[in-house]
Amino acid sequence: MSEGFASIQVQRGYVPGTPQNAVAPPIYQTTAYEFASLQDAEDIFALRKTGNLYSRSANPTQLVFEERVAALEGGRAAVAVASGQAAVAITLLALAKSGEHIVAAQQLYGGTVDLLEDTFADWGIEVSFVDQDDLDAWRAAIRPTTRALFAESVTNPTAQVLDVRAVADIAHAAGVPLVVDNTVATPYLQRPGEHGADVVVHSATKYIGGHGTSMGGVVVDIGSFDFGAEPARWPQLTGPYARVGDVVLWERFGPQGQAFAALLKSKYVHDLGPSLSPFNSFQLLQGLETLDLRMARHAASALTVAQFLQDQPGVTAVHHPGLPSNRWADAAARYLPRGVPAVFSFDLAVTGDAESDRGRVHRFVDGLRLFKLVANIGDARSLVAHPASMTHSHLDDAQLADAGISPTTVRLSIGLEDPADIIADLAQALAASDPAEGQENE
Ligand code: PLP
């Protein structure tokens, strides 16, 4: 019996049973699987029986990964795909079709905003964006055609903590599921399903993989939402599924809480093809095995770094909800009792002169040695980014302000290096970028 988080992350979903008896889940690098008989093939195609079919839908290494993530999130089933972006896309496509509507937090990751605002609009799916802290705005945005509410448990780069329970209650009162992107927190720091989320998505590219090597995404079906309560709303689950002999997914898989995962895999992964490769499944499994250890270290180091930064004269604000002065400190205490994620931002002091401030940001970022300047988070290495020039470069100053970002906001993703070395690097770059120092050197 292995039920604790650490035991699940190392052992769940794999029992050495191959003729070779490999103790680690092997990489099953194969596109197809030999059926035992034609009857066996018929049963698997008709969803009467589960079994390996074709690697676009799943491969055995991926299935171990899926079972492990589902257990870590406290869900009933998971569907792994090639990227976090694919995980978000197939989840929302499976819930809302053309003419229907989604309410989403305006604080979402920029790539998700592009998907919802631009590509979903092309496909006739409407999305309203609301401030995730404004509960009245969530309620007011709901329409008869709304099919999901969507937000991130902890946002990037400003580390705002979602009141998952309150937004879940609003979703359920409207008869729709709450989908939560838990990428930044991971199930070690928060399990949104325990607070009312019905579907949890991840970019596994970040902390789940954890080493900045492999793209991946995963959707967890918590199994809590009753799609059968209003069947007319969810024909994709409660009506006959013509392509598999008119099976009704809700009848076949609903009692096990896995109907939504079955829909994702049999339709959206099958039709659109965002498959996770066997090799990346293996890499993500390697990451999972140390998730708790890494997240605890990331979170502890990030808090130490945030405390250091808030005392620096060259820094005007540190956006870390582990600091008592932060607006989301209470929410963090409630939703993130094991620690606050290691992605947060801070503002360099401004002079009021845009050119001089820009020079300071460039000197600071370019002066860092241990931190790597990349468009990513959740690596073992410490990473830095400048949102106004990178992820949020298409926004003007007013839009940046709405997003809680200033031209001198710097995002950090604190890695697993020695905290003293991380702090020393920030200290030297702050000193080297100080405008007063610069003048002395001229
Ligand atoms: N969700 C969040 C919160 C992210 O930060 C990202 C990427 O940065 C994604 C989803 C998309 O994930 P991926 O880059 O794996 O497609």
- Tell me yes or no: is domain 292-441 CATH 3.90.1150.10: yes
CA 71–ligand 1 middle distance (angstroms): 21
Q: Where are the alpha helices (DSSP H) in 174-219?
A: 186-189
Q: What is the pLDDT of residue 87?
A: 98
For ligand 1, atom 12: residue with the closest CA: 84
For ligand 1, atom 15: residue with the closest CA: 84
CA 89–ligand 1 middle distance (angstroms): 11
- Tell me yes or no: is domain 5-287 CATH 3.40.640.10: yes
For ligand 1, atom 13: residue with the closest CA: 84
| Beta-carbon count within 10 A of 369 CB | 10
What is the three-class DSSP state of 322?
A: coil
Contacts for 161-164: CB closer than 8 Å, 24+ residues apart = 161/321, 161/328, 161/331, 161/332, 161/335, 161/336, 162/105, 162/132, 162/331, 162/335, 163/133, 163/135, 163/331, 163/335, 164/190, 164/192, 164/195, 164/196, 164/197, 164/335
For ligand 1, atom 1: residue with the closest CA: 203
Helix, strand, coil distribution of the chain in percent, nearest 5? 45, 15, 45
What is the three-class DSSP state of 38?
A: helix
CA 17–ligand 1 middle distance (angstroms): 35
CA distance 134 to 23: 49
- Quick one: which atom of ligand 1 is closest to the CA of 215? 15
Tell me how far apart the terminal alpha carbons of the chain are, to the nearest angstrom: 67
DSSP state of 170: H
pLDDT tens series, the chain, 442 aa: 558 999 999 999 998 877 788 999 999 999 999 999 999 999 998 888 888 999 998 899 999 999 999 999 999 999 999 999 999 999 999 999 999 999 999 999 989 999 999 999 999 999 999 999 999 999 999 999 999 999 999 999 999 999 999 999 999 999 999 999 999 999 999 999 999 999 999 999 999 999 999 999 999 999 999 999 999 999 999 999 988 889 999 999 988 889 999 999 999 999 999 999 999 999 999 999 999 999 999 999 999 999 999 999 999 999 999 999 999 999 999 999 999 999 999 999 988 888 999 999 999 999 999 999 999 999 999 999 999 999 888 877 887 887 789 999 999 999 999 999 999 999 999 999 987 765 444 3
CA distance 203 to 89: 12
CA 207–ligand 1 middle distance (angstroms): 11
Q: Do the bridges between strand 217-221 and strand 77-81 make them parallel or antiparallel, or are there none, so unpaired?
A: antiparallel
- Quick one: which atom of ligand 1 is closest to the CA of 206? 15
The domain locations on the chain are 5-287, 292-441
CA 384–ligand 1 middle distance (angstroms): 16
> Which of 108, 201, 205 for mutating ligand 1's site (highest number of atoms within 8 Å of CB)?
205
State which H helix or E strand residue 292 sits in.
helix 291-310
> Which of 92, 108, 112, 284 for mutating ligand 1's site (highest number of atoms within 8 Å of CB)?
112
CA 30–ligand 1 middle distance (angstroms): 27
DSSP state string for 43-106: HHHTTSS----BTTT--HHHHHHHHHHHHHHT-SEEEEES-HHHHHHHHHHHH--TT-EEEEET
- Cβ atoms of 241 and 218 within 8 Å: the answer is no
pTM (predicted TM-score) = 0.96
Across the beta sheet with 372-373, the strand order is: 315-319, 343-348, 409-413, 383-385, 372-373
CA 385–ligand 1 middle distance (angstroms): 15
Pocket residues for ligand 1 (CB within 6 Å)? 83-85, 88, 109, 111-112, 152, 156, 181, 183-184, 203, 205, 215, 217
